């Protein structure tokens, strides 16, 4: 198999990474994707740095063994430890993560200056968004907030306004002046509309999956790695197989999928 026809690996702790995968499938319909959801260890946002490094390393080695030409780290919490993981089987320019493309875009745009960042405790406590954005553009006014309750609510299917708005009252009380919210968790695209509705559509929630998909397309174009041959079926692997994940995944993707339980150790 030549490298261009090889699959692309995508991984997350569970359901959230499917928001990235769906955008990738739409933007790059000729590419095969191998998705790994580490459901045995979710949520990543509550795990230690050492645990995350171990999970990320094991998953990347698995995807490397499957011949994946590039890796998409579809998880903000996992993205925060990439520079600290010593034994990754992929080079930096073979990995697309979900923080750098967002920082590149927001730090160079002029439309939005008052920005809120929401994410898991791991992502927010890392300070990566604040630090990188301020280094690139010190005119930005940034407020960050850990919003850990949102992930389990989304995972359990509680995505209606009646369930979410009382939580938003607590998390978003300092966001009245914000012009843009960066959802620094790949679960949050599933509740974009609810967040914008909560603010009466007076601010915008950044559509992060589209940005990641565009970044991957650019990388494929630059390195002439676009698949021009036949495409194999996408694969979906979980470290722990549950009926709930399958139901939620098929509802979000809009089609039936086949899931495989894949143990890495």
pLDDT tens-place string over residues 38-66: 999 988 988 999 999 999 999 999 999 99
Strand-strand pairing, 8-12 and 70-73: parallel
At residue 23, the 3 state secondary structure works out as: helix
Q: Is 68 a catalytic residue?
A: no
Catalytic residue among 185, 206, 238, 259: 185
131: pLDDT strictly greater than 80: yes
Instruction: Give 177-216 pLDDT, tens digit per residue.
Output: 999 999 999 999 999 999 999 999 999 999 999 999 999 9
Q: Is 185 a catalytic residue?
A: yes
The pTM score is 0.93
100-208: CATH number: 3.40.50.1860
Catalytic residue among 75, 81, 88, 128: 75
**Strands annotated E in the chain:** 8-12, 33-37, 70-73, 95-97, 114-119, 141-146, 180-184, 204-205, 235-238, 259-261
Domain boundaries, the chain: 3-97+210-261, 100-208
Instruction: Give 101-120 pLDDT, tens digit per residue.
Output: 999 999 999 999 999 999 99
Return the pLDDT at 217: 96
Query: Hey, which residues does 37 pair with through a beta bridge?
Result: 12, 238
Q: What is the mean pLDDT of residues 159-182?
A: 94
Answer yes or no: same fold for 3-97+210-261 and 100-208: yes
3-97+210-261: CATH number: 3.40.50.1860
């Amino acid at each position: 198999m030549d490298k261009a026809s090889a699959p692309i690996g995508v991984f997350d702790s569970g359901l959230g990474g499917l928001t990235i995968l769906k955008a990738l499938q739409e933007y790059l319909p000729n590419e095969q994707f191998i998705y790994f959801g580490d459901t045995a260890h979710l949520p990543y946002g509550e795990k230690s740095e050492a645990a995350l490094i171990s999970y990320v390393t094991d998953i990347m080695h698995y995807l490397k063994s499957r011949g994946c030409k590039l890796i998409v780290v579809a998880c903000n919490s996992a993205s925060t430890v990439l520079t600290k993981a010593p034994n990754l089987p992929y080079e930096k320019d073979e990995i697309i993560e979900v923080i750098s493309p967002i920082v590149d875009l927001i730090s160079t745009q002029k439309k939005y200056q008052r920005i809120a960042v929401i994410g898991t405790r791991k992502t927010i406590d890392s300070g990566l968004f604040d630090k990188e954005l301020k280094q690139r553009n010190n005119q930005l006014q940034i407020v960050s907030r850990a919003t850990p309750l949102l992930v389990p609510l989304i995972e359990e299917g509680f995505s209606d306004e009646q369930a979410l708005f009382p939580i938003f009252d607590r998390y978003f009380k300092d966001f009245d002046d914000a012009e843009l919210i960066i959802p620094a968790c790949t679960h949050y695209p599933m509740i974009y509309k609810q967040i914008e509705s909560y603010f009466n559509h007076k601010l915008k929630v950044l559509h992060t999956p589209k940005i990641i998909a565009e970044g991957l397309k650019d990388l494929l174009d630059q390195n002439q790695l676009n698949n021009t041959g036949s495409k194999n079926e996408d694969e979906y692997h979980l470290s722990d197989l549950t009926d709930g994940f399958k139901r939620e995944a098929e509802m979000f993707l809009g089609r039936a999928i086949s899931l495989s339980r894949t143990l890495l150790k």
